[in-house]
Amino acid sequence: MIPRYAPTYTFNDLLNGLKQSSDPDIENKLIARLKSYYNVRHAFLFGSGREALYAVLKAYNRPGGVLIPAYNCIVVPEAIQFAGYRPVFVDIERNSLCMTAENVKKSLSSDVQAVFLTHIFGIPCEIQEILDVLIKQNKDILIVEDAAPAIGAEYNGQVVGSFGDASVISFQSTKVISGEIGGALLTNNENLAEKLKGLKLEAVGPGSDWMLFIKALARKFVTSRNVYELAQFGYRTLRGEKMYEIVPPKVQKPKGFLSRCPSFSCALVFLQLDRLRWNLERRRNLALIYQNELSKHTEVSLPEIAQACDPAWIQYPILVDDKLSFYKHMQRNQIDVSWTYRYSCAESFGIKGFPNSIHAAETIIGLPTSPFISDEQAMEICRVANQFRGR
Ligand SMILES: *Cc1c(COP(=O)(O)O)cnc(C)c1O
């Protein structure tokens, strides 16, 4: 079975990563590489992207509203609340799947202190249009790019993550570069950087590099073609094949929130930065195949990508009205697809409205864009998808 995602590390990376995790300088080496790639003066590593988002709000220290798209990962509004702020939801555009400048403008109230420019699935949002709206406001608002899924995506030829006051990237296993866990915060803002240096991080416990190594090894194993079918059967079938849900947000900050990025994750990401160009090119190729081969499908809508945007594609989202039948059809043909995200964050927070976010949650299916998927496999995925006729 073709897996819906696969981590980007190889078995070899895992062994080398474990070896390099004992290098006391590995964190600094990764920081130096990130600073040079993003052309920023400061980079800080954390245990996850959500912790980096939390950290920048804590450093900013002006509690109030934070604008985010309602179609989003639930951990984002959770992190906003943990930091003592309030998520203010903004609807997305039906086909671009991103928050629009127009909706940002409508949601700006005097209480709003920060805006997260969210590049969902690695698709850049309309950065310039949103910046224009914010500049016209003439109010001091913190602009953070949530580029967690978008390492290497570009907007007007400039890498995303270099537009706001600060930006966040993630090394979680489903993102552009899998470090198993981890994230980073990038900024040129000296005030924020000073405050960030003062934040107290939880240490990562001894042995955690070994634990992560074993976890990553297990993930690599269960996402290999032969074992995957059984593994995902267990996960999906036992958990229930829900195509839409309401996810109650966590109210308590989990234990160990705001921790350091483990050395093993640093090493794993560091090693894979050498392959970033290849990684992104594979993802773009696969997306192009999906776009070309599925453009005439009457049951499937494709995301609309603005001219200025060159996404990083952690998956290729398509919109299918009869999502459950489509998923089952693909499964019968040995292809797994993603249901992420199958909720609207606004609804999960008990707030009504946001029809485009609910529509996305109800209809999005993610096609795999792992760099290890071959063009032939992508063609096979399209061939099977094109056989789908709906109910
Ligand atoms: C994955 C993701 C996050 C969170 O990253 P973690 O490292 O899993 O905490 C935040 N925002 C977006 C848009 C994401 O895709």
pLDDT value at position 72? Answer: 98
Give residue-wise pLDDT tens across range 122-175: 999 999 999 999 999 878 999 999 999 999 999 999 999 999 999 999 999 999
Give residue-wise pLDDT tens across range 351-388: 999 999 999 999 999 999 999 999 999 999 999 999 99
pLDDT value at position 275? Answer: 97
The mean pLDDT of 194-208, rounded to a whole number, is 89
Q: Identify whether 362 is part of a domain.
A: no
Confidence at 390, pLDDT banded by 50, 70, 90: confident
Question: What is the Å distance from ligand 1's center to 172 Cα?
Answer: 8
Q: The sheet that has 154-155: what strands, in order across it?
A: 158-159, 154-155, 309-310
Q: Whose CA is nearest to atom 5 of ligand 1?
A: 49
Peptide bond into 5 cis (omega under 30): no
73 lines ligand 1 (CB under 6 A): yes
Distance CA 168, CA 166 (A): 7
The mean pLDDT of 285-298, rounded to a whole number, is 98
Confidence at 267, pLDDT banded by 50, 70, 90: very high
Distance CA 325, CA 346 (A): 26
Of residues 202 and 52, the one with the higher pLDDT is 52
Instruction: For tokens 């090894």, name the residue.
Output: 217
81 token code pair = 């609340």
Q: Identify whether 286 is part of a domain.
A: no
174 token code pair = 């489903």
Question: What is the Å distance from ligand 1's center to 149 Cα?
Answer: 6
The mean pLDDT of 295-308, rounded to a whole number, is 97
Give the CATH number, domain containing residue 176.
3.40.640.10
Report which ligand 1 atom has the smallest distance to the Cα of 72: 13
Distance CA 149, CA 313 (A): 8
Question: What's the total number of domains in the chain?
Answer: 1
Please classify residue 157 by burial: count the beta carbons closer than 10 Å to its beta carbon, then call 0-12 exposed, 13-18 middle and 19+ buried: exposed
Distance CA 66, CA 56 (A): 12
Q: Identify whether 90 is part of a domain.
A: yes
Instruction: For tokens 């946001």, name the residue.
Output: 354
Report which ligand 1 atom has the smallest distance to the Cα of 119: 13
Parallel, antiparallel, or unpaired for β 300-301 and 309-310? unpaired
Q: Identify whether 177 is part of a domain.
A: yes
Tell me the one-letter amino acid at 130: I
Please classify residue 138 by burial: count the beta carbons closer than 10 Å to its beta carbon, then call 0-12 exposed, 13-18 middle and 19+ buried: exposed
Beta bridge partners of 99: 92
76 lines ligand 1 (CB under 6 A): yes
203 pLDDT higher than 90: no
DSSP 3-state assignment of 172?
Answer: coil
Q: Identify whether 42 is part of a domain.
A: yes
Distance CA 191, CA 59 (A): 9
pLDDT value at position 3? Answer: 94
The model carries a pTM of 0.97
118 lines ligand 1 (CB under 6 A): yes
pLDDT value at position 229? Answer: 86
Print the domain residue range for 110. 11-202
Instruction: For tokens 């790639």, name the residue.
Output: 37
CA atoms lying within 13 Å on the CB side of residue 378: 25
Q: Identify whether 258 is part of a domain.
A: no
Q: Identify whether 353 is part of a domain.
A: no
Distance CA 160, CA 314 (A): 14
Average pLDDT, the chain: 96
Q: Identify whether 346 is part of a domain.
A: no
238 pLDDT higher than 90: no
226 pLDDT higher than 90: no
* Percent of the chain predicted with pLDDT > 70: 100
Question: What is the Å distance from ligand 1's center to 379 Cα?
Answer: 29
pLDDT value at position 206? Answer: 73
233 pLDDT higher than 90: no
The mean pLDDT of 233-239, rounded to a whole number, is 77
Confidence at 303, pLDDT banded by 50, 70, 90: very high
Instruction: For tokens 């474990």, name the residue.
Output: 18
Distance CA 96, CA 206 (A): 44
